[in-house]
Amino acid sequence: MQVSYPMEDITLINILDKAYGIQVEYIYFIPMGDSAYSYRVNCANGDRYYLKLFDHQNDQQKRGIERLKYYLPLTSYMYHQSLFKYTTFPIKTLKGDFQITINNITTVLFNFIQGETLADAYPFSEEILTDIAQSVAAIQQITPYIEDIILLTEEFDISFEDDLEKCMIALDSTINPNDYIKQALREQVMVRKARIFDLLNLVRELRGNAINLNKERVLCHGDIWGGNLIRHENKLYFIDWESAILAPPEFDLVGYIGQEFEVFLTAYEEHLGHSVEVDLDLLRFYSYRHHLRNLTNWLMNILYRNTEQAQNENDLEMILYHCINRWDSIEARLKNVEAVLEKRK
């Protein structure tokens, strides 16, 4: 979120002090993401934490609250059982809970990881790519040890399709001519209307094929991009496990199918200790689903959720420069994967 939640800092500080028994000195709002409000928490004794705040009035954030019951126990267990130490994990309250729910908000306090994210580090060096690939393999190898943790299992969900169609209809209807953001949104999106529905139909077809595959399900982080990676003292930390799921391995490979794929796949297989079969149509499904789901989320934000123009400006920028401008490169990236796989036969 680009604008902080409408709550006085002192109110939030008092909530944290009472629930955790910590002495918060001050909190900093971090303008990032749109699945929750983010804050850095500094305590009088020098301890630091990372806080996520979810707004019950926001349907997207309410879905984020639903996912807490899956990934909070997972990350806590991974860290405290030393299955995967380079991760964020939730701090328990004095009552032993992973979260606080009060009035119209839910909050979660996490350990703070020192370092810079890799959000602006792309294209990654071979060293970083190797680290990411090895970590992805290590995470997948945890799968047999988390059988008692309840996790979401890949159903190849495309339930966003109804909201996407709803948004396209709304954009086709009357838009306030004085709302320059929505006018710009209409101009950029409606000219691509046929393309969007063609891609949606392709995703539906690919989903049907994916459901019939008998692919092994492994633990996947689900959102491995630079913004969810922090490098500190030559160690790579994975944050924001909201999308954690038991899914085919391709789910965590899809972000690295460009020119870097050969380096990534080599390091990934070396850490696993065996070669893997990569399904191109699964990568295709995940690629297009990712962009259409993001498009839907940002459209819903602008048309129905956002109350601040600054957030609308941010979400329009995300649509233009982190979504629709990337569609044309997907098939070329998949051809690169195909060439790498052919070379290995």
Taking only the tens place, the pLDDT of each residue in 206-230 is 999 999 998 999 999 999 999 999 9
Q: What is the pLDDT of residues 161-198, one digit of tens each?
A: 999 999 999 999 877 888 999 999 999 999 999 999 99
pLDDT band at 204 (very low <50, low <70, confident <90, very high): very high
Structure tokens at 55: 């707004």
Are residues 99 and 72 in contact, defined by beta-carbon separation less than 8 angstroms?
yes
Q: What is the pLDDT of residues 89-110, one digit of tens each?
A: 999 999 999 999 999 999 999 9
pLDDT band at 289 (very low <50, low <70, confident <90, very high): very high
Looking at the chain, the domain(s) classified CATH 3.30.200.20 span 9-112
Site of tokens 């063609």: 198
Q: At what angle do helices 180-190 and 193-211 cross, to 10 degrees?
A: 60
User: Is 47's pLDDT higher than 80?
Assistant: yes
* pLDDT on residue 122: 87
Q: pLDDT > 90: what percent of the chain?
A: 92
Region 250-266 average pLDDT: 96
Cβ-proximal residues to 246 (8 Å cutoff; 6+ apart), any chain: 143, 151, 152, 153, 154, 217, 218, 219, 220
User: Is 288's pLDDT higher than 90?
Assistant: yes
* pLDDT on residue 168: 96
DSSP 151-171: --B-----TTHHHHHHHHHHH
Span 9-112: which CATH code?
Answer: 3.30.200.20
Region 292-320 average pLDDT: 95
pTM, two decimal places:
0.95
Region 119-123 average pLDDT: 90
d(CA 323, CA 329): 11
Rounded to the nearest integer, the mean pLDDT of the chain is: 96
Q: What strands lie across the sheet with 100-102, from one edge to the other?
A: 24-30, 37-43, 48-55, 105-111, 100-102
Region 300-319 average pLDDT: 94
* pLDDT on residue 341: 96
Amino acid at 174: T
